[in-house]
Structure 1
Amino acid sequence: MDEPARIGRRVQRMRGELGLTQRQLAEPSYTSAYISTLESGKVRPSETALRFLAARLGTSYEELATGRPAHLATELRLALTDAQQTLATGAADEAAARYRRLLAEAEELGLVPEQAEARLGLGDCALESGELPDAIGHFEAAERLLADEPLPRRARPIRGRAVAHLLAGELRYACYLLESTIDELGASGLADPEALVLLNAAIIGPYLDMGAHARAARAAELALALAPQVSDPALVAGMHRQVARTFLAGGRVADADASLAKAQEIYGQLRLRTDLAHCHWMRGYVQAQNGELTSAERELRIARDMLSARRAGLYTAQVEVELADVLRQLGRYEEAAGLLAALLELGDSHGAVHAGGAHRLLGLMAEERGEPESAEEHYVQALALLERSGASGDLADLCRLLGDLLRRTGRVEAAMDAYRTGLGHRAAPGTTTLGPAPAAPALRPARVSGSRWAAGPAE
């Protein structure tokens, strides 16, 4: 709302244009003396008074309070929706250009919610293009703009920051952001279903990467229980995509593939190409785990081509690690090594977890070629990268591989040290690496397919 003097001048001008006296404008709810005081800028009108006067003057409350015609905000919101669709179906750089232009307009007009929406869009664009520091900056700016809003409104920028830190290999911090927000939602009584699904779906990945499988399963169970209360189909699809990971970790391959099929169908209907690419990627991973290597290669190549066309460099690199592993299992070592070498040339900009995965695969291939020294070198480099990220599950597996290699080459004591390191990373998953698990919010169970789902107990 503008200062009282500016509002007063605006009321006086509009009244004069309509040829109304102060008494005619005021009646029946106010007095001419009140209108006189208001027009002189000596009183700050209440929202109720301004809405009454706006109706009498034939204008909107927003225009009377701020001087901005209401259609400007509406047009800006429509343009933001168009930019979101561009990001979903086109190139991230084109969407980012639109969001930057709309952010400048929103700042000029002083429209805070629209500024926050533009910042969220720029954060999503930066995530897709792998510009993680920029993404974090945009999400932090959106969070500041929404500081006075209820916590459910701030779930999106918090989730965005967590994903950016996760992609940068900062798993513990990503978990902290998501866990603390879930706890705060429960403690505040603001257990908004959409916010909880958004946050619980996002936390499944870092939980699994850190070896906290029980927590991942509980987050998936809560997300599934809340899904019937969520109206956004894209959010439901994203939830199914993440829940599939918990099914796979529990050996439920058919359930994982069924969840991915649901997500893929929704993304196809909504024409969300990046998310559809993620589904192809995940289905390829599931098929690889099930030994269906030819199908896995096909799905992963589709995902890689779609993401590469979108210039989503970070996600493309992640898919290439999975594709290289499939090629290794098919015996096509040169192709696999070529993919991994190109990825490692990009340096740490594509994340310690993925660079660590690339070195792990190169070590496996060196072992299979009978080159133990080269294999050990790659394993040690992978270990250094993964220790920075806190990816406990991957670290434990890598320590096992390194220990086996050292034992076969006669270095028993060094092998024992590697095994002990791996056991340390596997000890009490989800308790030694993280703080207390988020408490389950008090929710009424939702009916799903004739049964009832309930959130699991806190760990």
Structure 2
Amino acid sequence: MTTSDLVGLRIKTVRRQRGLSQAQLAHPELSDSYVSLIESGKRTPTPAVLELLAQKLDCSLSYLVNGVTAEQMENIELALGYARLALENGEISEARTRFAELLADNNLTGLTKVRQDTEFGLALATEAAGDLDQAISILIRLREEENTPERKIEHAIALCRVYRDSDRLTEAVEVGEQLLGSPSRPAWTDLLVELGATLLSAYLYRGDMLRARQFAAELLNAADILGTPRSIVAACWNAALVADSTGHGEEALTFAERALAVQSESGQPRNLARMRNMFGGLLLRVRPHQAREARDIMLRAAEELAQTSASVVDLARCQVELARAEIVLGSPAKAIGHVQAGKELLPGNVRALGAEADLLTSRAHAALGNHAEAEMHVHSVRDRLTPLPDSRRVAGTWYAAAETMEQLGEVDEAVEAYRRALACTGL
């Protein structure tokens, strides 16, 4: 039913409950034929007419418009606010429960915007809980509905991100390019730059380096024109990733430092913590002699992430980066502890990050002289990578696994892993 149909049905229902005819309700301001057209959904009453009818029917205007009383509307908005607050504070399970309970409320039937906001909140909470397939299902359903341009972009950002984290890179790119690759794409906004940054990370994971470099420059130019903290953070953050991936480590650190500085001033605890973790990992790769400082940065990020709406993938990624730092610092036992904590959080369908975690575990056990354990975990790397489509990220992990297998004396397995790494790059 359309909004006009629903409004007309409510007017008709209340009129009959009051024992009034259409003529009695209409007199003297309106004609009974006009009331009939409204009740049948063939006319949409103006706000002034709706207010008049609410007075005549002795009911709230909120009920005629939304199907709920003012008190019910206040309770719904309060419940939605509590659910959002729980998500922001990192109380993921409670947030997911609150969003789901609110969606089960029949009063949301006529409240399209509120219902869509609640479903989007549930999608974010579901993503944060690690149920990425379910989050994708919710987001796809939302994208099929009519919505504001801004909300459509927000849904696309989330869907592109979840596809990327699920290693479904083709779908991630398709979602981003549907909006950003269109000839009728609107002028850049903060939201579009954020979508562009998410799309850029999918290009990087997939290995589209030429497109990634070109797009990074485009996003930086857009951010400079907008001059907003939100756009600057998104563009610089991902420009750092591109620079790092193309061997320009010091340039990457410069971009990352700028993004971190702006993010520190503008709040948003979850993104600040994610940025801090990325910066720590970047510092470790570019300046390994500062591994202790990098580890301390990531330890702080881990504490901050635990107090926000960060997803389990974000939390696991932080533990994996901490494990890298401990290996560089010569503490393989601590590295194993961090990797184990990360793997306990990871959803089963996040295979690429899981493979990286297994590889670090193998190297840590090898450093401790646990040859059998090292072999077992490097074989797990192979098992996780085999089902994944070819990508730059997968190629890098295959190559690292091959090096580890060679060091463990598994020559035949190493040769096969090197072959898989080459195949992923198209060679």
Contact 2:90–2:307, Cα closer than 8 Å, also in 1 = no
Compare 208-217 and 307-316 and name the one that shifted more: 307-316
Equivalent position of 1:25 in the other structure: 29
Q: Does 1:91 align with 2:91?
A: yes
Shift of the alpha carbon at 1:326?
Answer: 0.4
Aligned equivalents of 2:109, 2:417: Cα separation in 1: 60
Equivalent position of 2:147 in the other structure: 149
Could you tell me which amino acid in structure 2 is paired with residue 118 of structure 1?
Answer: T
Equivalent position of 2:333 in the other structure: 334
Q: What do residues 105-146 of structure 1 show as CA deviations (whole Å, max 9, x unaligned)? A: 4754521111111111111112222222332233234334xx
Q: Does 1:193 align with 2:189?
A: yes
Equivalent position of 1:120 in the other structure: 120
Could you tell me which amino acid in structure 2 is paired with residue 214 of structure 1?
Answer: L
Shift of the alpha carbon at 1:213?
Answer: 2.6
Equivalent position of 1:455 in the other structure: none
What SS does the aligned partner of 2:104 have? Answer: helix
Distance 1:232 1:132, change over 3 A: farther
* TM-score normalised per structure 2: 0.78
Distance 1:125 1:338, change over 3 A: same
Contact 2:332–2:368, Cα closer than 8 Å, also in 1 = no
Aligned equivalents of 1:362, 1:35: Cα separation in 2: 74
Q: What do residues 408-442 of structure 1 show as CA deviations (whole Å, max 9, x unaligned)? A: 788878755543432332349xxxxxxxxxxxxxx
Equivalent position of 2:241 in the other structure: 245
Could you tell me which amino acid in structure 2 is paired with residue 213 of structure 1?
Answer: M
What SS does the aligned partner of 2:146 have? Answer: coil
List aligned pairs for 1:440-459, cutoff 5 A.
none
Equivalent position of 1:362 in the other structure: 361
| Among 269, 272, 275, the residue aligned to 1:273 | 269
List aligned pairs for 1:148-297, cutoff 5 A.
148-149=146-147, 152-183=150-181, 186-190=182-186, 193-227=189-223, 237-238=233-234, 240-250=236-246, 251=248, 252=251, 253-267=253-267, 272-289=268-285, 290-291=287-288, 292-297=290-295
Compare 342-351 and 321-330 and name the one that shifted more: 342-351
Q: What do residues 261-288 of structure 1 show as CA deviations (whole Å, max 9, x unaligned)? A: 2123222xxxx33323212211211221
Shift of the alpha carbon at 1:6?
Answer: 4.3
Q: What do residues 125-176 of structure 1 show as CA deviations (whole Å, max 9, x unaligned)? A: 12222222332233234334xx123665323233323322332333333233
What SS does the aligned partner of 1:110 have? Answer: coil
Distance 1:8 1:407, change over 3 A: closer
Shift of the alpha carbon at 1:192?
Answer: 6.4
Could you tell me which amino acid in structure 1 is paired with residue 137 of structure 2?
Answer: G
Aligned pair count? 411
Shift of the alpha carbon at 1:353?
Answer: 1.6
Distance 1:416 1:212, change over 3 A: same
Contact 2:161–2:198, Cα closer than 8 Å, also in 1 = yes
Aligned equivalents of 1:382, 1:338: Cα separation in 2: 18
Could you tell me which amino acid in structure 2 is paired with residue 123 of structure 1?
Answer: A
Aligned equivalents of 1:383, 1:395: Cα separation in 2: 11
Aligned equivalents of 1:408, 1:277: Cα separation in 2: 36
Superposed CA RMSD in Å reads 4.0
Q: What do residues 317-372 of structure 1 show as CA deviations (whole Å, max 9, x unaligned)? A: 21111101100000011111232245446675372122201222233345556777
Compare 188-197 and 314-323 and name the one that shifted more: 188-197
Unaligned runs of 5+ in 2: none
Distance 1:174 1:287, change over 3 A: same
Larger RCO, structure (CA 8 Å, separation 6 or more): 1
Unaligned runs of 5+ in 1: 27-31, 429-459
Q: Does 1:44 align with 2:48?
A: no
Distance 1:10 1:220, change over 3 A: farther
Aligned equivalents of 1:117, 1:409: Cα separation in 2: 52
Distance 1:194 1:10, change over 3 A: farther
Equivalent position of 1:425 in the other structure: 424
Q: What do residues 74-101 of structure 1 show as CA deviations (whole Å, max 9, x unaligned)? A: 7644653553344223422333333234
Equivalent position of 2:304 in the other structure: 306
Q: Does 1:320 align with 2:319?
A: yes
Distance 1:359 1:58, change over 3 A: closer
Contact 2:239–2:255, Cα closer than 8 Å, also in 1 = no
Aligned equivalents of 2:399, 2:371: Cα separation in 1: 15
Contact 2:236–2:259, Cα closer than 8 Å, also in 1 = yes
Contact 2:316–2:341, Cα closer than 8 Å, also in 1 = no
Equivalent position of 2:135 in the other structure: 135
Compare 303-312 and 127-136 and name the one that shifted more: 303-312
What SS does the aligned partner of 1:24 have? Answer: coil
Contact 1:80–1:102, Cα closer than 8 Å, also in 2 = yes
Aligned equivalents of 2:29, 2:16: Cα separation in 1: 10
Contact 1:107–1:115, Cα closer than 8 Å, also in 2 = no
Could you tell me which amino acid in structure 2 is paired with residue 44 of structure 1?
Answer: G
Shift of the alpha carbon at 1:297?
Answer: 0.8
Distance 1:306 1:214, change over 3 A: same
Shift of the alpha carbon at 1:198?
Answer: 3.1
Contact 1:211–1:391, Cα closer than 8 Å, also in 2 = no
